[in-house]
Amino acid sequence: MSKAEIFAGGCGFTTVVKARMNGKSCHLEIESECKAIQRLAENLPEVNPFQEISFRREGPLTMKMASQYCTHAACPVPAGIIKTVEVEAKLALPVDVSIHLSRTDEP
């Protein structure tokens, strides 16, 4: 099983993603404080890892579902779900990712 803990930022919500391979599919358990992510989780019980890793052909089901349920386009949770699936399917190493944001008023 692979697991990710995702702190989404300004909203203050945390999401925990657990992924477990089941044959060629990856079963997902997603727990979140966010109502939008809760609805996404209800409708995304499993995915095909090879579909998730590319925008070619059908594209990631996670992103399609996120466009239906997530209210914020910059939410990092859908990408975190895909990263967890990649690790569980052995398509990526379990290496942390991050986005560091800052603001300056200098030109």
pLDDT of 51 above 80: yes
**Where residue 55 falls among pLDDT bands split at 50, 70, 90?**
confident
78/105: higher pLDDT: 78
Go through the domains of the chain in sequence order and give each one's CATH number.
2-88 (3.90.1010)
Higher pLDDT, 43 or 9: 43
Summarised one tens digit per residue, pLDDT across range 25-39 is 999 999 999 999 999
DSSP track, the chain: -EEEEEE-STT--EEEEEEEEETTEEEEEEEES-HHHHHHHHT-SEE-HHHHT-SSTT--HHHHHHHHH-S-TT-SHHHHHHHHHHHHTTSS---------------
Q: What pTM was computed for the model?
A: 0.93
- Per residue in 83-101, pLDDT tens? 999 999 999 999 999 988 8
